[in-house]
A = this chain, B = another copy of it.
Amino acid sequence: MEETTADGRTVTLKDLASELGIHPSTVSRILHSGSEVARGAASVATAERVRELARKRGYSPDPQAAGLRTRRTHLMGVIVPRLSDLVLAIMYEGIDEAAADLGYSTFVMNSRDDPEEQRRKTDSMLARRVDGLIIGDAHLDSGLLQELAARKVPFVLMNRRVPGFPSATCDDVLGGELVADHLWSMGHRNVAVIAGEPYASTAVDRTAGFVDRWRALGGKIPRNAVVWSRFDTAGGREAAETILAHCNPRPTALFAVNDFAAIGAMGALRSHGLGVGRDVAVVGFNDTSLAAELPIPLSSVRSPMLDIGRTAVQLLKRVLDGREVESVRLKPVLCVRESSDFVTSV
């Protein structure tokens, strides 16, 4: 409601207090705590009058003033590589929802995966006095996290993990293993991986899970069959071109650690006259809403993106409450579709 007084100002505690002829602190105590502190602070009758008036005048506390006094803003800062990455956008929706449930609001900023920008945005968040940070763009090789920890900034990681820090992620290793099992069982023996950016644990873990399981099954993966790439469509296309140019014999299956890269790869295959889901199998990761809707539906590892976001919020809340936290790895599920649903013979 957020009403204003006759003269246009927003309603304050003092307004309520003077209208009822009681002291602002009493009003604060009544409105502040559900009932615990209120009990003992005022009579039931007064409490009711206060609450009634607050509702009537549409009082809403000023978070600036409260924050100034209490030194907490009830704000969580979220840093992601880019919100136009569907995966991060969905995680953010989970965050937004879970944070609202806990009475927190969230700030998001894009770092474009640029270390310089990560620093700037982090500082910008801290200048805004966020209570804590959810970092969705952690690089495995960056010192930023150590610094933050040294400065005792409360934070948790999301999406990507870094050993030694609490994080909410998908079990990416397992995801890679699921794909290895699937492709192996469909008869593929000659595969390649579009591996993503080597600074991101998502890329590294998915690739490692796949490669290690593949070898455990008795398969071989030559060094040049693992191609690091950007996470977007163009990156996937380029990686696929590289694979087609250098791998001999040509792989019968591609695992891209990201749906967008997979879509790019499908485009490249098609340009080379290869039938996706017939000549070459393609499997992506994340099962974004597009995967199932593509002209040739894309097999993909479904990661619980909303839950990852929600979990990150819960972890950060625990950190803010000074409790112990442990990293959470949520289980993915493989969704097999037309793009890899054919048996090939050795």
CB under 8 Å from chain B, chain A span 238-288:
263-264, 266-267, 270, 276
B90 touches A84 (CB 8 A): yes
Most buried by B among A1, A89, A263: A89
Report copies per complex: 2
Minimum CB distance partner of A97 in chain B: B110
B110 touches A108 (CB 8 A): no
Give, as a whole number of angstroms, the nearest-CB distance from A7 to chain B. Answer: 13
Q: A317 vs B65: C-alpha distance in the bound complex, in angstroms?
A: 24
Q: A110 vs B96: C-alpha distance in the bound complex, in angstroms?
A: 8
Minimum CB distance partner of A68 in chain B: B64
B128 touches A109 (CB 8 A): no
Residues from chain B with a CB closer than 8 A to the CB of A109 are 96
Q: Is A86 an interface residue (CB 8 A)?
A: yes
Q: Is A294 an interface residue (CB 8 A)?
A: yes
Give, as a whole number of angstroms, the nearest-CB distance from A35 to chain B. Answer: 22
A263 touches B92 (CB 8 A): no
Q: Is A216 an interface residue (CB 8 A)?
A: no
Q: Is A67 an interface residue (CB 8 A)?
A: yes
Q: Is A234 an interface residue (CB 8 A)?
A: yes
Q: Is A126 an interface residue (CB 8 A)?
A: yes
Question: Assuming A62-B129, A290-B263, A290-B290, is B93 touching A89 (CB within 8 A)?
Answer: no
Among B96, B127, B267, point to the contact of A295 (Cβ < 8 A): B267
Q: Is A82 an interface residue (CB 8 A)?
A: yes
A296 touches B293 (CB 8 A): no
Q: Is A139 an interface residue (CB 8 A)?
A: no
Q: Is A36 an interface residue (CB 8 A)?
A: no
Q: Is A224 an interface residue (CB 8 A)?
A: no
Most buried by B among A107, A127, A290, A293: A293
Give, as a whole number of angstroms, the nearest-CB distance from A254 to chain B. Answer: 15
Residues from chain B with a CB closer than 8 A to the CB of A110 are 93, 96
Residues from chain B with a CB closer than 8 A to the CB of A92 are 83
Give, as a whole number of angstroms, the nearest-CB distance from A287 to chain B. Answer: 13
Residues from chain B with a CB closer than 8 A to the CB of A106 are 107
Q: Is A123 an interface residue (CB 8 A)?
A: yes
Q: A61 vs B126: C-alpha distance in the bound complex, in angstroms?
A: 11
Cβ contacts A to B, 20 pairs, < 8 Å? A2-B123, A4-B151, A63-B127, A63-B129, A64-B64, A64-B129, A83-B89, A86-B86, A86-B89, A93-B110, A96-B108, A108-B108, A232-B289, A233-B289, A233-B293, A237-B293, A263-B293, A267-B294, A294-B295, A295-B295
- Known pairs A2-B126, A64-B73, A295-B295; list 15 more (Cβ under 8 Å): A4-B151, A61-B127, A63-B128, A63-B129, A68-B68, A83-B92, A83-B93, A84-B90, A86-B86, A86-B89, A100-B124, A263-B290, A263-B293, A267-B293, A295-B296
